[in-house]
Chains A and B, each alone.
Chain A
């Protein structure tokens, strides 16, 4: 099923949905604590977007859109999650126990910032890294864009 043809419909379709998907992905990440969502589903949305980019433009397109190494994303995610856990120790809480502060932000009004959010960001990064890593590893052979250039 090696395809070397570009599909205009697919490409413009992906470009069209990319923006909303990114917004949706980040929305899920931040809304997760009180609404359905969370770092895992947010990361999956981004992962689906990455696989769409691959479908439209192959590995080369994925490399251009996300110019990061998958291992860097996953490693950063793990470090962020771990640091969140250790940060809980400072005020005398248990590892990974969450605390929160209320802040007033210009647009959003009064917001409770929960430390667990940072943990969720770690999860998010790991999941995005996973999707990126798998797409790159499994999608290596087909390079439709390069084949045309």
Chain B
């Protein structure tokens, strides 16, 4: 696993490095990554499906138990096959799709980084490792979606995707920390095997993880980023939005679904409802699109909703259907995206109102689209049908309403598939000059890449049992149940078939009478306009967020020094005071001190009080110095010669430095602009607080074992009689080292600030 990831990074780096020479061949070189993944996954497939997962881990910080752990069970294997199986043809496809440019090469490198991140994500067996790869996919997908960075729409779409999935990723991280804290482990396989009992923290943890998955997989109400992300070049859409990125959320809910549903009873309804809403909204909106790519994007949202609710439910039979659908979806959706890309590439448009007659001018592409389109519509004899049947059978066992919802979404799917195929390849508008494409040769990867996926799709559609071992063992890996479902060409006359056939026939009628559909759709749209639209909610929330940031920072950062000081001091006083009063404080009132202590105390207080009445700056500095020297006296009385010495020296130096600064300031303080009384109140409060704190803190003091051990070990360990110094230069020397480093930085900063100001003042004078 680790060599595989290194390979991805190394090839990506090489692509970036030699981007001048490579041109479009970068994509062929980049295909090394998914090809290697595919070969490796196939080589271990036998063992993994038989039930022995491939484990690879690298101990990073052994003392903290931090391991970069990978564990490829058959569930992860399934995803590896999907990622690499879709990635390889898409890389080859891109070779013909892009024209040679430096940016295309960088795009290839980014896509490879993305492929590597995705590979690491599904193989990870450590929550934090999973998170790191999760965020890597977010970042690299941001770059891929924003490829056309000269277009504002592409930039904002990339930002939208990154913000939504990034925020979801952060929520997920919080959830992972909560869950790992309760379960006592970050290892995913252990967490799933022994899910923590449902406490408030565990519930919150699962909810946050669910938010991460929902955002990543573009589920309601965060689904709007996915259609927006169609601003990406089509190969990226084919890769990210059919087989990989959006499947990451599904991967996650599938992986933790059983454990989460077991420990949080709201999990299952939440997943079912979110997935169900997404499935219907996506299907409906797909019907309303004119851009072929957007049509597929909303179709993806719909399909993802269906797969999400199946995989997240934690019910083995549903998971089986979900896994099968996931495979079939990757096969047909990646192909169809590539078909759209080829149409766009050849004709220059994706608008189905402008396309016409492509069936005769691009016949091979047409048959590729039909073969996979039928699978998307779940027509019998396709893998899409076999998978959907498995899902329907399982749903029927649970609740008839879920089947009804799924059948409704399927009806819409059939309808938008019809819209897609008829719109792209049919002949309409004989009066207008249509956009014609040219026939693609079989050697052109624009045709052969989607064509090869279509062949696989057709093959497994005719012999779905060939996929059964993979689907079954993947289901078993996450649910522990084998043979939870069946993959068959023809299910026989069962109830689920009736639902399938009903949705198929209604869908066909809808596709046939698309004029009726669009009129009905207009009417619904009038009503729907009153409902909040996810896209608009996002658009409005960003300026609102910025306004909130503006107003809160202008409130908190007023620029007034007295206000800052007052806020800091009041918080410092009120917080601990409330805490201490709530606990019920114990006070340690010291015994009557010696005459010397009294004298020092009176001296210090006298200096401090007189400070408040002095207007001359220099006098203030001298009086402050007096307070400091008094404190040195106190240290000395209580037997701290080192402290005394340091205090005296620091005080002296500070007075001198003050004198330096005072030369540049007026001799007396200006009359304060704010009222005196509030300042006095704050000052008195701080004084009283510090006094009280002294009494409370001393009462809480316990003899420290550390102090005793320092005293004991000072001479034998460090050969030093002065414990204070030994602590500074030996026991805690690392701290001292840090402090002198900070000191240097502070001096450099202060000098950098002050010198230009003085020079400036002098040049003006």
Q: Which residues of A contact B (CB under 8 A)?
A: 1-2, 28, 32-41, 44-45, 47-48, 51-52, 54-55, 70-71, 74-75, 77-78, 81-82, 85, 95-98, 100, 112, 114, 116-117, 119-120, 122-123, 126-127, 129-131, 133-142
**A35, B650: Cβ atoms under 8 Å?**
no
8 Å CB contact of A81 from B653, B659, B662, B737:
B737
Known contacts A41-B642, A96-B734, A98-B729; is-contact A36 B653 (Cβ 8 Å): no
8 Å CB contact of B755 from A33, A117, A140:
A140
Nearest residue (CB) in B for A118 is: B729
Nearest residue (CB) in A for B735 is: A96
Give 5 nearest A-B pairs by CB, closest first: A34-B721, A44-B649, A138-B660, A36-B641, A116-B729
Please report the C-alpha to C-alpha distance between residue A120 and residue B86 in the assembled complex, in whole angstroms.
63
Q: Which residues of A contact B728 (CB under 8 A)?
A: 38, 40, 123
8 Å CB contact of A139 from B660, B718, B719, B730:
B660
**CB interface residues, B 611-668, toward A, < 8 Å:** 641-642, 644-646, 649-650, 652-653, 656-657, 659-664, 667
Known contacts A116-B726, A140-B758; is-contact A131 B736 (Cβ 8 Å): no
Q: Which residues of A contact B661 (CB under 8 A)?
A: 138
Q: Which residues of A contact B741 (CB under 8 A)?
A: 78
Please report the C-alpha to C-alpha distance between residue A33 and residue B656 in the assembled complex, in whole angstroms.
28
Most chain A CB within a 10 A radius of its CB, from B662, B758, B761: B758
**A37, B759: Cβ atoms under 8 Å?**
no
7 more CB-based (< 8 A) A-B contacts, given A44-B646, A75-B744, A81-B737? A36-B724, A37-B725, A96-B730, A119-B729, A126-B740, A133-B747, A137-B751
Chain B: minimal CB distance from A60 (Å): 15
**B649, A100: Cβ atoms under 8 Å?**
no
**B725, A131: Cβ atoms under 8 Å?**
no
Q: Which residues of A contact B747 (CB under 8 A)?
A: 70, 74, 129-130, 133-134
**B657, A48: Cβ atoms under 8 Å?**
no
Q: Which residues of A contact B46 (CB under 8 A)?
A: none
Please report the C-alpha to C-alpha distance between residue A44 and residue B647 in the assembled complex, in whole angstroms.
10
Known contacts A32-B725, A34-B721; is-contact A141 B664 (Cβ 8 Å): yes
Q: Which residues of B contact A126 (CB under 8 A)?
A: 740, 743-744
Q: Which residues of A contact B719 (CB under 8 A)?
A: 33, 98, 100, 112, 114
**A48, B652: Cβ atoms under 8 Å?**
yes
22 contacts between A and B (CB under 8 A): A1-B662, A28-B645, A36-B644, A37-B642, A38-B729, A48-B649, A55-B656, A97-B730, A98-B719, A98-B733, A117-B729, A123-B729, A123-B740, A126-B744, A129-B744, A133-B747, A133-B748, A137-B758, A139-B660, A140-B759, A140-B762, A142-B663
Please report the C-alpha to C-alpha distance between residue A100 and residue B642 in the assembled complex, in whole angstroms.
23
Chain A: minimal CB distance from B488 (Å): 67
Q: Which residues of B contact A (CB under 8 A)?
A: 641-642, 644-646, 649-650, 652-653, 656-657, 659-664, 667, 718-722, 724-726, 728-730, 733-734, 736-737, 740-741, 743-744, 747-748, 750-751, 754-755, 758-759, 761-762
Please report the C-alpha to C-alpha distance between residue A97 and residue B762 in the assembled complex, in whole angstroms.
49
Q: Which residues of A contact B758 (CB under 8 A)?
A: 137-138, 140-141
Nearest residue (CB) in A for B643 is: A36
Most chain A CB within a 10 A radius of its CB, from B641, B751, B762: B751
Chain B: minimal CB distance from A24 (Å): 11
8 Å CB contact of A38 from B642, B652, B662, B667:
B642
**B657, A51: Cβ atoms under 8 Å?**
yes
**A35, B750: Cβ atoms under 8 Å?**
no
Please report the C-alpha to C-alpha distance between residue A98 and residue B734 in the assembled complex, in whole angstroms.
12
Q: Which residues of B contact A82 (CB under 8 A)?
A: 737
8 Å CB contact of B646 from A40, A97, A117:
A40
Q: How many cross-chain pairs have Cβ atoms below 8 Å apart between A and B?
A: 158
Chain B: minimal CB distance from A128 (Å): 11
**A137, B755: Cβ atoms under 8 Å?**
yes
Chain A: minimal CB distance from B714 (Å): 10
Q: Which residues of B contact A55 (CB under 8 A)?
A: 656, 659
Q: Which residues of A contact B662 (CB under 8 A)?
A: 1
Chain A: minimal CB distance from B371 (Å): 66
Please report the C-alpha to C-alpha distance between residue A133 and residue B753 in the assembled complex, in whole angstroms.
13
The interface residues of chain A, by DSSP majority, are classed as helix
**A36, B657: Cβ atoms under 8 Å?**
no
8 Å CB contact of A41 from B646, B721, B744, B751:
B646
Chain A: minimal CB distance from B735 (Å): 10
Chain B: minimal CB distance from A121 (Å): 10
Most chain A CB within a 10 A radius of its CB, from B722, B725, B748: B725
Q: Which residues of A contact B743 (CB under 8 A)?
A: 126-127, 130
Please report the C-alpha to C-alpha distance between residue A123 and residue B662 in the assembled complex, in whole angstroms.
29
Please report the C-alpha to C-alpha distance between residue A37 and residue B663 in the assembled complex, in whole angstroms.
32
Q: Which residues of B contact A2 (CB under 8 A)?
A: 663
Please report the C-alpha to C-alpha distance between residue A100 and residue B726 in the assembled complex, in whole angstroms.
13
Q: Which residues of A contact B657 (CB under 8 A)?
A: 51, 134-135, 138
Q: Which residues of A contact B656 (CB under 8 A)?
A: 48, 51-52, 54-55
**A48, B653: Cβ atoms under 8 Å?**
yes
Please report the C-alpha to C-alpha distance between residue A127 and residue B747 in the assembled complex, in whole angstroms.
10
Please report the C-alpha to C-alpha distance between residue A71 and residue B749 in the assembled complex, in whole angstroms.
12
**A114, B736: Cβ atoms under 8 Å?**
no
Chain B: minimal CB distance from A117 (Å): 8
Please report the C-alpha to C-alpha distance between residue A56 and residue B736 in the assembled complex, in whole angstroms.
33
Known contacts A38-B725, A140-B755; is-contact A116 B730 (Cβ 8 Å): yes
Known contacts A130-B744, A133-B751, A141-B664; is-contact A33 B737 (Cβ 8 Å): no
Q: Which residues of A contact B667 (CB under 8 A)?
A: 1
8 Å CB contact of A98 from B663, B724, B730, B740:
B730
Q: Which residues of A contact B720 (CB under 8 A)?
A: 33-34, 114, 116
Please report the C-alpha to C-alpha distance between residue A1 and residue B755 in the assembled complex, in whole angstroms.
19
Known contacts A51-B657, A78-B740, A142-B663; is-contact A33 B721 (Cβ 8 Å): yes
Please report the C-alpha to C-alpha distance between residue A35 and residue B720 in the assembled complex, in whole angstroms.
9
Q: Which residues of A contact B722 (CB under 8 A)?
A: 32-38
Q: Which residues of B contact A77 (CB under 8 A)?
A: 740, 744
Known contacts A36-B722, A47-B653; is-contact A85 B730 (Cβ 8 Å): no
Q: Which residues of A contact B737 (CB under 8 A)?
A: 81-82, 85, 96, 119
Please report the C-alpha to C-alpha distance between residue A85 and residue B732 in the assembled complex, in whole angstroms.
12
**B718, A137: Cβ atoms under 8 Å?**
no
Q: Which residues of B contact A122 (CB under 8 A)?
A: 740
Please report the C-alpha to C-alpha distance between residue A117 and residue B730 in the assembled complex, in whole angstroms.
10
